[in-house]
C-alpha cells in the first residue's frame, strides 16, 4: 500500500513539474511577444534604436524567436547598419520553415547586401526570394537594379584596367625614350671628347698635304718650263 502511495506521489510530482515547465514556456512566449509588440510600436514611430532594444529583450526571453530576429534586422537596417542587419536576416532565414517568411527574409537580406555594395550576393538573395515568392514585384525590380549596377561596375573595372595598362605602357615608352636620350647624350659627350684629338691629327695631315702639294707644284712648274722651252725650239725650226 505504501509502495502504491509512493508511486502515486512520484507521478503527481512529475505531472506538476511538467505543468510548471509548460506554464513557464507559455510565460516566456507571452513575454517575447509583448516585447515584439512594444518594438513594433516604437518602430512605427520611427524610434528604431528603441525598437531594436525591445526586440533584443524578446530574444533574451526566447532565443528561438525568428520574428524577433527578423525585426532586429529591420531596426538595424533603418539605422543604416546594413552588415549587422544582413547577419540577422541570414539567421532568420535559417530559423524559418515558413515559406513566406523565408522569402521575406531573403528579400530583406538582398536589400541589406545591396546597400553594402555586395552586388553579386544581393542578386543571389533576390533570386532565392523570388523562387519562394515569384509574385514579389519589388524583388524583381531590385534584382534588375542590382544586375544593372553589377554590369556598370564590371565595365568601370574593365575601363580602369585598360587605363592602367595604357598608363603602364606609356610609362615604359617614356622610360625607353629617356634611356635613348641618355644614350644619345652620352654618345655626343664621347664624340666631343674625341674631337680635339681628331682635329690635331687633321692639322698634321693638312701640313703633310700642303707639303705634298708644294712639291707637286714645283714639279709641275719645272715641267711647264721644259714644255715652254721645247715649244720655243720647235718654232725656230724651218719647214722645208
pLDDT of residue 17: 35
Measure Cα distances from 164 to 171, 175, 231 in Å: 10, 16, 90
On whether residue 121 sits in a domain, the answer given is no
Q: What is the pLDDT of residue 201?
A: 54
Residues 113/114/120/124 CA torsion (nearest 10 deg): 70
Half-sphere exposure of 173 (CA within 13 A, CB side): 6
For the record, the C-alpha cell of 190 comes out as 664621347
- In terms of C-beta density within 10 A (0-12 exposed, 13-18 middle, 19 or more buried), how is residue 191 classed? exposed
pLDDT tens for each residue of the chain, 240 residues long: 444 344 433 433 433 333 333 334 444 457 788 999 999 999 999 999 999 999 999 988 788 889 999 999 999 999 999 999 999 999 999 998 899 999 999 999 999 999 999 999 999 999 999 999 999 999 999 999 999 999 999 999 999 988 888 888 888 888 887 788 888 888 777 777 665 554 455 677 767 777 777 777 777 677 767 666 655 544 333 333
Does any domain span residue 124? Answer: no
185 in a structural domain = no
Which pLDDT value is given to residue 224? 64
What is the pLDDT at residue 187?
77
Q: What is the span of the domain harbouring residue 64?
A: 1-79
Residue at 46 is within a domain: yes
At 29 the pLDDT is: 54
37: in domain: yes
Residues 6+ apart with CB under 8 A from 139: 107, 110, 126, 129, 130, 133
Q: 75: domain CATH number?
A: 1.25.40
CB 56 within 8 A of CB 71: no
* Three-state secondary structure of the chain: CHHHHHHHHHHHHHHHHHHHHHHHHHHHHHHHHHHHHHHHHHHHCCCHHHHHHHHHHHHHHCCCCHHHHHHHHHHHHHCCCHHHHHHHHHHHHHHCCCHHHHHHHHHHHHHHHHHCCCHHHHHHHHHHHHHHCCCCHHHHHHHHHHHHHHHHHHHHHHHHHHHHHHHHHHHHHHHHHHHHHHHHHHHHHHHHHHHHHHHHHHHHHHHHHHHHHHHHHHHHHHHHHHHHHHHHHHHHCCCC
- Among all chains, which residue has been given the C-alpha cell 715652254? 228
Quick one: which of 90, 149, 140, 152 has its CA closest to 115?
A: 149
Number of domains in the chain: 1
Amino acid at each position: 500500500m505504501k509502495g502504491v502511495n509512493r508511486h502515486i506521489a512520484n507521478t503527481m510530482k512529475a505531472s506538476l513539474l511538467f505543468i510548471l515547465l509548460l506554464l513557464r514556456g507559455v510565460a516566456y512566449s507571452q513575454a517575447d511577444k509583448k516585447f515584439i509588440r512594444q518594438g513594433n510600436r516604437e518602430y512605427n514611430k520611427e524610434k528604431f534604436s528603441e525598437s531594436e532594444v525591445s526586440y533584443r529583450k524578446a530574444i533574451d526571453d526566447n532565443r528561438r524567436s525568428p520574428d524577433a530576429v527578423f525585426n532586429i534586422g529591420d531596426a538595424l537596417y533603418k539605422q543604416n547598419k546594413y552588415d549587422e542587419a544582413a547577419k540577422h536576416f541570414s539567421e532568420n532565414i535559417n530559423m524559418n520553415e515558413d515559406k513566406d517568411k523565408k522569402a521575406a527574409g531573403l528579400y530583406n537580406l538582398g536589400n541589406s547586401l545591396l546597400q553594402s555594395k555586395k552586388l553579386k550576393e544581393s542578386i543571389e538573395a533576390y533570386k532565392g526570394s523570388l523562387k519562394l515568392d515569384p509574385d514579389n514585384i519589388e524583388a524583381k525590380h531590385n534584382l534588375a537594379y542590382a544586375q544593372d549596377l553589377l554590369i556598370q561596375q564590371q565595365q568601370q573595372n574593365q575601363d580602369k584596367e585598360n587605363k592602367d595598362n595604357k598608363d603602364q605602357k606609356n610609362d615604359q615608352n617614356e622610360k625607353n625614350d629617356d634611356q635613348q636620350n641618355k644614350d644619345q647624350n652620352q654618345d655626343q659627350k664621347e664624340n666631343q671628347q674625341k674631337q680635339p684629338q681628331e682635329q690635331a691629327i687633321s692639322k698634321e695631315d693638312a701640313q703633310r698635304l700642303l707639303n705634298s702639294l708644294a712639291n707637286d707644284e714645283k714639279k709641275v712648274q719645272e715641267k711647264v718650263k721644259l714644255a715652254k722651252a721645247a715649244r720655243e725650239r720647235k718654232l725656230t725650226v724651218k719647214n722645208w
